[in-house]
Every structure is written in structure tokens, then in C-alpha cells.
Amino acid sequence: MNVRQSTLLNHVLYLEHYTPVGELARIIGCSEKTVRTDAKVVNEHLIHAGFSSRIGSKRGNGIRMVLAHGERGRLEAMVADSAIEMRPRLERFYRGMLLIACSPKAYTVDTLAHALFTNKQQLQMDMKWWGFMLNPFHLALRKKERLVIEGPELSLRFFIEYFFYKLDRRMMQNHIEPTFMSQDTQFLKTIVDEAEQEMGLQLSKNSRQQTSFYLKVMCARLRLGHALEADFKFEAAHPALAGKLKARFERHLATPVNDHEIALASNLFSCGTWQWSNRNIEEYEPSDSTVKLVKRIEAVLERKFGHAPDTSLHQRLLVLVDGALLRKACNLSIPGPIEHAVKYDNMDGFLLLTEALLEAPELRDFDVFGGDHTRIVMAMLEYLDHVRAERVFRVGLVVNAGVEQAAYGKYRLEKLTSKVRIVDVITENDVERPAPSATPLSDRFDFLISFEPLNSTFPSVTISEAIDEQDIMRLMTSIPTLGNSLEMQLHRMDVEDPVQEKDLASLAHAVHRELERKNVLHMENDRFARVFETSYFVSGGTLILPVFSPSVTGTCTVFFRADEFNMIGTLIKTIAVLLVSEADRPSVPSLTEQFKRVLAERAEPQDALTAYFSA
């Protein structure tokens, strides 16, 4: 398989329903004919590799993966490994940066090209992209007597720690980290084991490996004489652990190690992602300040949504809030891998919960990093579903069939979407030829759902008798277009002049200034900066910012053009803002679905950096 075919397999592997070929063609960046041809090639590859799973097609519906039992894990591994094999530029970046930053050997362009099995011209092209990625971290690649990376030591370490795993975690875990600084591997395994014993918990697999990799880089840089600058001062959250680490590292490196180096290393353990069993959660003892803060959070949730969180959510909040406050105190933000799933897939829930947490006066002191805010919201999504915070529509199910179809239709619809409640099952005659004494449909229902088109002007949605995921998607997208003011239409605006800012804080300020100028938002700049940091996320070449707040004066979506904004290595070309006012709270689910459709229509192609490393 080539890169495009591997990308197709990676997409369809996670599709639970048939997806139109045109939609996949738009995502991948090719023609519909190419998608169909690639699907056949992928199936041939699966047969050759001994898989029973296939990409299946259905006329009029598109294609999907038909998974054989027990093959998902093997397919995921095959896709990941084939992607690694086809990304030589990315591997050159990883190995090249580590050689420049961590090797005692001095490298020039010629000798580095030789070490990376490439030529000078190719390496010089690569290095332009390397410089582009270094820039947001205030680092620069310089050609002197040797290649060097100039800039703050802490920035260099966090660039390697954060960016390497952001680009391709699997490649890092399976191909780069195991072969880097192998002389320190056993020592650092002992260090991590002792840290876990001291903390009384086990790190997650990803957190353990990422922390170990930072410690390898730390050891390499200290051997080269590069310690943290004096103006970077850290205090250990757990002094006993820091004391043990200091003795261990000084003995291993045979040189004194300053307290701030050790405090940072210690805090990476303290602030890491730990494995939590139900028993660990139940037995966890947070600080008194955390207990009081969680009580305030729960009081806000009960006031907003009418129900207090249950005991299990209470315990999870104690753990999550305590960890979030610790990371804020240590000034260590730990990005989570679930940001897109929370902020995009569950955008309506994210908006409702974020508004509750950020707008409540009694929670103004609850200031945590955006990644931790996302984790806390993720833990509360189930609670939000239980309290049914969104509007539920009264629906009449029109059935001209047997009793079993009526029962099945009601069951499937209410199971697959929480937005509708089937208040009655009626016949086509009740709609098309109602009795003179019948109660008007508008008094009983918001709209109707039928399996055949109805000869009626009353709002209705037609779905198939199978009631599959495609039908639910059609139902959700149809609600705002029914023409009976069930839910408002989302107004769109475009800003003509491109945003020219070069850093995230300035970008947020420019967006805020324009929203104020358009009179759709009245919010203090500092307040907006916090909302921005908490809520934004990136998809492809688009920075997306959903905002639900009493400070919004006009519900709308606003699109900005960006002058190739360098978002930590991602080239941002579009900024998409969704604003929802308090008056439109009942329409939040519909507005977010409309916003997603607009994003899909205006999606930026794969960003330049990802495209370069995928080649």
C-alpha cells in the first residue's frame, strides 16, 4: 500500500457506518474514482496479509470496514507500522535533532546527511522545516563550525519532549526511544520504579515512557554541560522523592546536579498521568482546599442542571481537580490525547459544562490549564447525559405497519439519540386525513418521523426502517431545517483582513478585538484570553474556538483568515469561532451540529507540515 491507501484504511477502520465516497475523497484529497480503486487495492493487500476483514461497499451509501472478529488490533498495528515505514522525512527529523542536541559528536550538514543516509540537498530542505517547528519554542538551528540549536535550555527539552510525541507517538515508542541513549535505559527503569513506589501509584504506559524519554534527554544534555538556566526555578512538589532522585542522578552522572533540575524531574512524576483503579479512587485523600473547591463545583452543577453529581463522579472530581491544581502550581501542562473527542465530538456538552465552570462567580479562582479543564469536562459528560441538559423534542412516530415495527422504531430512536422522545405512535391517516375533532398536530408534537414521505405540510423527517447511524445523522441535521422555528439557523460572518499575529496570546487578542468590533461579544480581554486557552483546539489547518457565554450578544459563527500562523508546527490558515448566547441555550446541540457541517464544508486541506512528513 502507498501512503494514500494506508490513509484510507486508517479512516475506514474506525467508521461504524457507511460513509459516502465523496466525503472520504474530500478528506484524503483525491477523486472518488481513486477512493474506489484504492479500496480494491487495500482489500487485495488484506487478503495477501492473511486478514478476513474487508472494505465493503453499498450502492448509494458509500463504503465501510467490515471487521472480522478479533482483527481490529492487528489491523491498527499494521496501519501504524506501514505509516512509519513510509515516513522517512519524519525519521530523519527525529534522529537528526537528537544527534544535534544530544550527541557529543560535532555535526556539519555534510556529516549529518551521511549519518542519516541522505544527501546534502535533501537535508537542507528538511532543515527548513525543522527551523519552522523550532520557531514557536524560541529556538533556532544555526550553522556554525557545527550545527547547533540556540535558545533556552528548558525550551529545547520541552520541544523534544512535547513535539516528538505530538508528531507520531507510535514511532517514538517503537522506533526512536528504544534506541536512544540505551546506556541509560536500565538506570532510568530503576528510577521510574522507585518513583512509583514512593508515590504509591503506577504511571500510565504513555506517561512512563514519555517521562523516561525526558530523563534520557536530561542526562544527555547534562553530560554535554547544558544545565537549566538560573532563571528557571522549580520547587519539588514531593521533596522526599526529589531527595532520592538527586542522590541517584549525581551518582549515575558522577557530577553535581542542581536542585532545580531535580525538582523539575521530580515534578514530571508528581504531575504525570497515573493508573487509577476504582479502589485507588475511593481511597484517595486530596488536600482540604481541593475538597472545598469540588464542593463549590458540585454546587454550581446542581444549580445549573438541577441535579448534584453522584458519589462516583465526586470521587473522580477529587482526583482530577487535585492533579490539575498540582500541575498549575508546578507550571507543568500535560496535554491530553482526547482533546478532539471532547471538544469536537461532544461540543455541545463541552460548551454547557465549560460555561458552568468559567462563568460562575464562585469559581473565578478555579484556574487550571486547558488540558486539565478538558479532562475534568470529559469526566462530567456522562453526568450531563443523565441530567438531560439539552432540549428533548416531542416526536410523533408515523407507522403504517405492524405493531412490531412501531415498538422497534420507538426503541431504536430513543436509544440512539437522547434528543427525541416518542410521545405517540400514529398512522399516516392521522396526519394526512385527521378527524375534525382531533387535537392539532402542533399541540402534540414538535415534528414527525416517518418511514415513507408524508403528504402533509407539518414538519417531518423521513428515515429508513433499519434506523441505522446514517438515519440518526440525517435526523439530527434535519431538525434546524424543518421550518417551524424548532431551532434557529446559524448566522455566518467572514472577516476580510487576515490575522497577522505571530504568537498565540496576540492571536487571541486580535480575535477578541474583532468580535468586540462586530458587536457579537462583550467580554474583558483577560477573561477572553482564559476562555480562549481553555476552549480552542486544532483540526487540520483550522483553529476552532467554540464559546458559550452570557457575554455573547449575538449567536453566530465568525471565520478569520490567518496569514500562515505557526501553531507549534501546524500551519493555521483559518480560525473558526462559534459564539452562542445565553438566550440560545436550548439550541446548543443543534447549533454545534450546524457548526460542524460548516467546518466540514470549509475544511482546510491537510496542513503543510503533516503533508511534508507524510511524503
What CATH number did the domain enclosing 557 receive? 3.40.930.10
Half-sphere exposure of 516 toward its Cβ, with a 13 Å CA cutoff? 11
Sign of CA dihedral 495, 497, 500, 501: negative
Could you give the CA distance from residue 109 to residue 615 in angstroms, rounded to a whole number? 22
| Cα distances (angstroms) measured from residue 237 to each of 267, 274, 323, 559 | 6, 16, 11, 43
> Cβ atoms within 10 A of the Cβ of 525, count?
11
Mark which of 481, 503, 528 sits at the end of a domain. 481
In a domain, 612, yes or no: no
In a domain, 607, yes or no: no
CA-closest candidate to residue 555, choices 519, 606, 528: 519
Q: What is the pLDDT of residue 489?
A: 75
Q: What is the pLDDT of residue 100?
A: 96
Both 99 and 10 in one domain: the answer is no
Both 75 and 100 in one domain: the answer is no
Both 289 and 310 in one domain: the answer is yes
Q: How many residues does the chain have?
A: 615
Could you give the CA distance from residue 451 to residue 399 in angstroms, rounded to a whole number? 7
| Cα distances (angstroms) measured from residue 287 to each of 13, 292, 363 | 44, 9, 17
Could you give the CA distance from residue 612 to residue 90 in angstroms, rounded to a whole number? 9
| Cα distances (angstroms) measured from residue 81 to each of 50, 77, 168, 174, 213 | 16, 6, 11, 9, 21
Both 40 and 145 in one domain: the answer is no
Both 142 and 266 in one domain: the answer is yes
Q: What are the grid coordinates assigned to 477, written together?
A: 441535521
Give the domain range for residue 329: 278-387
Both 499 and 569 in one domain: the answer is yes
Q: What is the pLDDT of residue 336?
A: 65
Both 104 and 156 in one domain: the answer is yes
Both 177 and 119 in one domain: the answer is yes
Q: What is the pLDDT of residue 113?
A: 94
Could you give the CA distance from residue 335 to residue 316 in angstroms, rounded to a whole number? 19
Both 118 and 247 in one domain: the answer is yes
Number of H helices, E strands in the chain: 28, 13
Map residue 423 onto helix, strand or coil.
strand
Q: Give phi and psi for 9, each to the nearest 5.
A: -60, -40
DSSP 482-545: SSSSSSPPPPEEE-SSPB---SHHHHHHHHHHHHHHTTSB---HHHHHHHHHHH-EEETTEEEE
CA-closest candidate to residue 149, choices 137, 161, 141, 159: 141
Pairing of strands 542-548, 537-539: antiparallel
In a domain, 165, yes or no: yes
Mark which of 481, 516, 548 sits at the end of a domain. 481
Could you give the CA distance from residue 573 to residue 436 in angstroms, rounded to a whole number? 59
Mark which of 414, 447, 481 sits at the end of a domain. 481
Q: What are the grid coordinates assigned to 341, written together?
A: 473527542
In a domain, 615, yes or no: no
Across the chain, which has 615 residues, the per-10-residue mean pLDDT values are 78 79 82 89 87 85 85 78 67 94 95 93 92 90 92 93 83 84 90 90 85 94 91 84 94 93 92 78 86 95 91 91 90 75 88 94 91 91 77 80 68 72 86 86 87 85 80 75 64 91 92 95 94 91 94 95 82 93 88 87 69 67
Both 476 and 519 in one domain: the answer is no
Could you give the CA distance from residue 356 to residue 376 in angstroms, rounded to a whole number? 12
What CATH number did the domain enclosing 16 receive? 1.10.10.10
Those residues whose C-beta lies under 8 Å from the C-beta of residue 35, and which sit 6 or more positions away, are 8, 21, 24, 25, 28, 63
Instruction: State how many domains the chain has.
Output: 5
Q: What are the grid coordinates assigned to 266, written together?
A: 521530580
Task: Enumerate the β-bridge partners of residue 149.
Answer: 141
Could you give the CA distance from residue 367 to residue 369 in angstroms, rounded to a whole number? 7
Query: In the β-sheet with 460-462, what is the strand arrangement from edge to edge?
Result: 420-426, 393-398, 447-450, 460-462
In a domain, 486, yes or no: no
Q: Are 218 and 266 in contact (CB under 8 A)?
A: no
In a domain, 145, yes or no: yes
Backbone φ/ψ region at 357: left (φ over 0), alpha (ψ -120 to 50), beta:
alpha
In a domain, 610, yes or no: no
In a domain, 15, yes or no: yes
What CATH number did the domain enclosing 435 receive? 3.40.50
What CATH number did the domain enclosing 303 receive? 1.10.1790
Both 61 and 141 in one domain: the answer is no
Both 295 and 317 in one domain: the answer is yes
